[in-house]
Amino acid sequence: MKFARSVWKVLVAIKDGLVLLFLLLFFWALYAALTLRPTPGQVRDGALTITLDGSVVEERSALAPAQLLLSGEAPAHEFQARDVARAIETAADDSRIKAVVIDLEQFTGGRQVHMSRIGAAMDKVRAAHKPVLVRALLYTDDAVQLAAHASEAWVDPIGGAVVTGPGGSQLYYKALMDRFKVKAHIFKVGTYKSAVEPYARSAASPEAKENLSAIYGALWSAWKAEVTKARPKANIDLVTRDPAQWLAQSGGDMAQAAVKAGLVDKVGDKIAFGKRVGDLVGHDPAAGEGGYKGSTLAQYLADKPAPTTGKAIAVVTVAGTIVDGDAGPGSAGGTRIANLIDQAVASGNYAALVVRVDSPGGSVTAAERIRAAIARARAKGLPVAVSMANLAASGGYWVSTPAQRVFAEPATITGSIGVFAVIPSFEDTLASYGVTADGVRTTPLSGQPDVVGGLSPQFEALSQASVESYYARFLRLVADARHKSPQDIDKIAQGRVWDGGTARQIGLVDQFGELEDAVAWAAKAAKAESWHAEFLGSNPGGWQGFLSGLMGDDGSTDSRAAGDVTGLLAQRQQALGWRVLADLGRLNSTAGAQVYCLECGGTAAMAPPPAAQGLVAQASWLALLGKLL
């Protein structure tokens, strides 16, 4: 028995040793995979093919490994607008690239400023006498905007084009909250600050409708002007005045109707389109029927990295909702972004700072943390410029105030200078089920805010005073930045949203320009004869690079986009369902005072919460709904 036990101990020791060895090998391999650097892509003579099987964004969202496991599905692809535009512009002067091909069959959307930027890059390729070909199953507004800049736009025989224009429904919960006797305690400053209206009204206020009408009208005019200039034969009025009649004139054939309206040039399936590209750049029989020679976006970007010569201009991106903490990229964590700025300044490696803002705002404290870091950079002598993308509203404008120069686009949405806070309480809801609250308080603020027993008058007065104090500070920040009095700023504030063109006229921005214009201004202010932009906090290495590779960022994975016209339009409208969850979550949050522009979300379809939230998110929503039920 002693011998058997000895043998058993030896076997167990060998087993434990092998397990340890395999664990070490596993973690070594994982480390090696995470620290790999991208190698130059194998760029072939032919076409640069950009398959946008996802959305175009300012900054790609971070992928959290644990949340990906909980979600049970891969997240939708995201493409940074600057990457797409840079690849297309670079291709204009690359002798290996004979044509640029953009596949929009599974495109899920992009905002107007980003589409304009990519469209300008497409124009540069065409100016170099190279064809730009676009194909899609269904063209909606954003895809039509891109297709207008193409030399050839193709549509599938069972596809078509639909132009809807900006606008749509907002959701209001007053009746629902009354039904369940939930009280929404609202503290705000700003006649036009409509972010609180879903919880206090059953329909939009006249002021909100007035503001939205002006914003949507400006965006719609800018969209039509760009499409008409790029594609003069496009008959937008025919498509939008009476869509049913327009379609009937082509016997219900949406593809032919799109051709007759000048929105696209040719009808053909993917194989026919591929053969057409092959005629231009060379066929590739190894790629199958309709195959042609060329390279993907990922290959091309790896082969053509961004320039690194000259002085470095730091570019820090504030994209998504501004929140407290280290969130992001893809959302604007105040602590994370402030640390990026402080570290850049302390390093002494950068000649200037450009802050790229694409945000509807969010937390007051997070916005202030970012603003203060930008102000510290300027105090250290760094030239500071702000470049506004699609949105720089409310908190997005708050963080812009320290800049020496503010750049925007005509389709930028900015302003929304106002502050609010919302706190729900459930005392009446609980009382209807026989649940009451009582206790002992040492001060009027003990236990406040009491969401189960009700808010005290003293707490409500304190909260309103706090919001008013934040608003007064907001006015002072803007007034100092724009060299006006707080009273002058108050006249154009009150939560009102402005388009970029009007914002320039009233002095909220300095000039029109893209990100590159802001970087060039900052470099000139720093007296840099040559320069390059260095984007901080956007390094795709480590976990992010590894996970991005697994997710197939080269467009090689299947998309969940709907495959027909009705399905795709319905899928985009499903964003209203996610809006319900987001609005209820905002009501249920304890984020405090907010400088957030809810109405800005109506300028583009609202994306669902990241798939990475998965079961955790579902559980939290169920808990919230449980409070209402």
Identify whether 394 is a catalytic site residue. Answer: yes
In this structure, whether the domain defined by 40-163+231-305 belongs to CATH 3.40.50.1100 is answered with: no
Residue with tokens 């599905």: 73
Please give the sequence-ordered ranges of beta strands (E in DSSP) within 589-629, or none if there are none.
594-596
Distance from C-alpha of 356 to C-alpha of 518, rounded to nearest angstrom = 9
Q: Confidence band (pLDDT; 50, 70, 90) for 220?
A: very high
Asked whether this chain's domains 40-163+231-305 and 169-215+308-420+471-553+565-604 adopt the same fold, the reply is yes
Three-state secondary structure call for residue 553: coil
- Residue 148 tokens, joined: 């207008």
**How much is the pLDDT for 41?**
55
502: left (phi over 0), alpha (psi -120 to 50) or beta: alpha
Tell me which H or E stretch contains 69: helix 65-71
For residues 14 and 68, the answer to whether their CB atoms sit within 8 Å is no
Three-state secondary structure call for residue 56: strand
Report the greatest alpha carbon distance in the chain: 95
Taking only the tens place, the pLDDT of each residue in 559-575 is 445 555 555 555 555 55
Q: What share of the chain is helix, strand, coil (3-state, %, to 5)?
A: 50, 20, 35
List alpha helices for 73-186, DSSP H.
Answer: 81-92, 112-127, 141-147, 174-179
| Mean pLDDT of all residues belonging to the chain | 86
Distance from C-alpha of 257 to C-alpha of 263, rounded to nearest angstrom = 9
Tell me what percent of the residues of the chain surpass a pLDDT of 70: 78
Of residues 606, 61, 598, 62, the one with CA closest to residue 361: 598
Residue tagged active-site, from 193, 387, 400, 425: 193
Q: Where are the domains of the chain?
A: 40-163+231-305, 169-215+308-420+471-553+565-604
DSSP labels for 391-457? Answer: EEETHHHHTTTT-SEEEE-TT-EEE---EEEEEEE-HHHHHTTT-------SSTTTT-S-TTT---H
Identify whether 209 is a catalytic site residue. Answer: no
Mean pLDDT, residues 494-516 taken together: 97
Taking only the tens place, the pLDDT of each residue in 458-489 is 999 999 999 999 999 999 999 999 999 999 99
pTM, rounded to two decimals: 0.85
DSSP labels for 38-54? Answer: PPPP---SEEEEEE--E
**∠ CA 55-117-367, rounded to 5°:** 70
Q: Is the torsion defined by CA of 253, 257, 259, 263 positive or negative?
A: negative
pLDDT at 532 over 90: yes
Q: What topology is assigned to 169-215+308-420+471-553+565-604 in CATH?
A: 2-enoyl-CoA Hydratase; Chain A, domain 1 (3.90.226)
Residue tagged active-site, from 71, 295, 394, 559: 394
